Amino acid sequence: MLQRLSVSNLAVVEKAEAEFAPGLNVLTGETGAGKSVLMGALELVLGGRADPSAVREGAKEAEVEADFGDIVARRVVSANGHSRAWINDEAASVSDLRELGRKLVDIHGPRSNQLLLEESFQRRTLDAYGKVGLKGYSAAWEALSRVRGEIAALADVDSDEDALDLLRYQVNELEEAGITTDDEDLAERHAAAAHAEEIVEAANEITEALGGDRGAADILVGLRPKFAAVSKHLSEAAAWASEAEDLTVRIQELSRSVADAAAKLDVDPGEFAEMDERLGVVNRLKRKYLKGGGAIADLISLLASKKAKLEALEGRDERLAKLRDEEKAALDAVKAAGAAVTKARKASGAKLAKAITRELVDLGFLQAKFSVRIDAAEPGPSGCDAVVYLFEPNPGESARPLADIASSGEIARVMLAVKGVIAAHDETGTLVFDEIDANIGGEAGRVVGEKMRAVARHRQVIAITHLPQSAVFGDRHLVVSKSVSGGRTRTRIASVDGEDRVKEIARMLGGEKLTTVARRHAEEMLKLGVGS
C-alpha cells in the first residue's frame, strides 16, 4: 500500500507531499493545480520515462519518493537528462523500479501502460476468477522440460568421429598408465632412492653423533652424577636433571628414526629402474594433459571425466532415441493436461464475461459486451492457450482486444469493471485511476464512485476525479490547490473532512461561487456517499 508520495520541483509542483490511507483515496482540485502531475510523479518513481523538461523551471533536478511501508523508492531526474534511482536507499536501475512498480501499483490513465492490456495478466485473472488449477499441468510441463533439457545437452555434445577416436585413445592411454593414489609420493621416493648412498652416509654420521660412543646421548647420561650432586645444594638443578633426561630420550628416538629411514633406502638397481621408468610415465602424462602442472589426483579426475564423456558419446544415439520416445510421451501428457485447463478456462471465461458485462452496463456502457477468447497456442509453462479479453462497445461493432481501445476513459472504466469482478483475486496492492470518470456525469458518475469503493474493500484505490458524485465515496479526500507567490505557482495538498470537505464538494458542484444550494446538495451527497 502506498503510504506517502513526496514530490519536489516537478512541473508546477515545487514541493508537495500526500499521505494516503487504506481504502478509497480521492484527489480533487481545480484544473491545472497539479493533480495529474502527482500521478505522473508516481509513474516516474516506478520506472516511467524521465523527461528533463518536466523539471521545474529554475531547478537543477526533480525528486520523487514513494513510501510503501517496508519499501521506499526514490528517483531523481536532473535538468540535463540524467536519472538516478534508489530502493530502500540502495542504488537501483530504472528496470528495477519498473519491476517493483508492476508488483505494487497498477496505474490507469492517459499516459500509463495498464496491466490489463497484457495477455499474461488477462490469463492470470481468468484463472484466479475461475479457480483454474494448473498443478497437474505444471507437473507435466516440468517433466517435458526436463526431457528436452537432456536432449539439448546431448545435441550440444560434439559427435565428430575423429574427436571420438581421439577421446578413445586418451582414455586408453590414461587407463593403461594405471595412475593411482600410490603414485602421489613417487617423485619423493625416486629422489630419495637416487641419492641413497649420500643419504645413508649422512645418516650414519648423524646416528653416530647422536647415539654412538661419546655421542650426545652418551654425554648426557654421563652428566647424571653431576646433576645429582649440584641438586643437593641448588634446588633448581633438579629441573635441569629432568630436562636432561627428556633430551636423552628424544635424542635416542631421533637416532633410531634416522637409522630406520636409512635402512629403507636399500633399493636394488632393478627396483630403482622401475621407479625411474614409472616417474617418466607420470611426468609425461602431466605434461601432456595438465600442461606440466597439477597433481596425481588431477590425472585421476581427468580420466574419470573423459570416461564419462566417452560413455555418453558412444551411447548418444541410443540415449537420444530413448529420450525422443520419452519426449513424445511427455508432450502427449502436456497436451492432455492442457486440454483440461483449456476446458476450465472456457467455462471460466463465459462466467467472467457475463459478470463484467453487467458491471459495464452499470458504468454507462448500456449495450456493450465483454467476452473472453481462448486461442490455441504452443504449449508453455502456463498452458496451451492465449487468453484475449474483447470489448464490443456498441451493437454491430466488432469485438476488439482491449489493447485496441483508443479511448483512455473507456479502457479505465473497463478496467474498473474487471477489477470490480476479480478484485478479491487480484494481487496488486494499489490501484490508481486518473480521471476514470472523464466525459461522464450524473448517475454514471455515482456508479463509478460506488464501484471504486467496492474495489477498495480489497485493496487501496487512489482516484483523481472531477465528479463530486464519485468523490463523495472516498474514505480519504485529498484536495490539490495552487497559489501564486513571488510570481511562481505553488501546489499544496491537504486532507479535508468535515466542513472543508463540504466546501470542496460544493465547489465541484457550483464552481467558485459557494451557493447555499450547492452547499446543501454537497451535504446530502456526502451523507449518501460516506454513509453507504
Q: What is the pLDDT of residue 127?
A: 92
- Under a CB-based contact definition with an 8 Å cutoff, are residues 106 and 461 in contact? no
Q: What is the pLDDT of residue 297?
A: 85
Q: What is the pLDDT of residue 109?
A: 64
Q: What is the pLDDT of residue 181?
A: 79
CB atoms within 10 A of CB 467: 24
DSSP-derived secondary structure letter, 159: -
For residue 507, being part of any structural domain is answered with no
Q: How far apart are CA 313 and CA 162, in angstroms?
A: 12
Residue 86, CA atoms < 13 Å, CB-side half-sphere: 11
Q: How far apart are CA 468 and CA 474, in angstroms?
A: 10
For residue 153, being part of any structural domain is answered with no
For residue 305, being part of any structural domain is answered with no
Q: What is the pLDDT of residue 40?
A: 86
Q: Could you please report the per-residue DSSP string of 241-286?
A: HHHHHHHHHHHHHHHHHHHHHHHTT---HHHHHHHHHHHHHHHHHH
For residue 343, being part of any structural domain is answered with no
For residue 486, being part of any structural domain is answered with yes
Q: How far apart are CA 112 and CA 206, in angstroms?
A: 91
Q: Which domain holds residue 484?
A: 1-109+435-497
For residue 223, being part of any structural domain is answered with yes
Q: What is the pLDDT of residue 25?
A: 95
Q: Could you please report the per-residue DSSP string of 36-95?
A: HHHHHHHHHHTT----GGGBPTT-SEEEEEEE-SS-EEEEEEETTS-EEEEETTEEE-HH
102 and 195 inside one domain: no
Q: What is the pLDDT of residue 65?
A: 95
> What is the CATH number for 453?
3.40.50.300
5 and 102 inside one domain: yes
* β-pairing verdict for 24-29 and 476-485: parallel
CA 2 to the chain's CA centroid: 22
Q: How far apart are CA 320 and CA 152, in angstroms?
A: 10
The one-digit pLDDT tens for each residue of the chain (532 residues) are: 999 999 999 988 888 899 999 999 999 988 777 788 888 899 899 988 888 888 988 899 999 999 998 999 999 999 888 899 999 999 999 999 999 988 898 887 654 556 777 888 899 889 989 999 999 999 999 999 999 998 888 776 656 667 778 888 988 888 888 888 777 767 766 666 666 666 666 767 777 777 666 667 777 777 788 778 887 778 787 888 888 888 888 888 887 787 777 766 666 667 767 777 787 888 888 888 888 677 888 888 888 888 888 877 777 778 888 999 999 999 999 999 999 999 999 999 999 999 999 988 888 788 888 999 999 999 999 999 999 999 988 887 888 888 787 566 677 778 788 878 877 676 788 988 887 776 666 677 788 888 889 888 888 999 998 889 889 999 999 999 888 777 777 788 999 999 999 999 998 887 656 677 888 888 888 988 765 5
Q: How far apart are CA 525 and CA 531, in angstroms?
A: 10
Alpha carbon distances (Å) from 527 to 338, 362, 478, 523: 52, 22, 18, 6
- Under a CB-based contact definition with an 8 Å cutoff, are residues 200 and 262 in contact? yes
Q: How far apart are CA 365 and CA 371, in angstroms?
A: 14
- Cell numbers given for 224: 647424571
Last residue of a domain, one of 229, 261, 294: 294
For residue 512, being part of any structural domain is answered with no
Q: What is the pLDDT of residue 231?
A: 79
For residue 168, being part of any structural domain is answered with no
Q: Single out the residue of 418, 454, 445 nearest to residue 363, CA to CA.
A: 445
Number of domains comprising the chain: 2
* Amino acid occupying residue 350: A
Last residue of a domain, one of 277, 294, 311: 294
E strand or H helix at 432: strand 430-434
195 and 289 inside one domain: yes
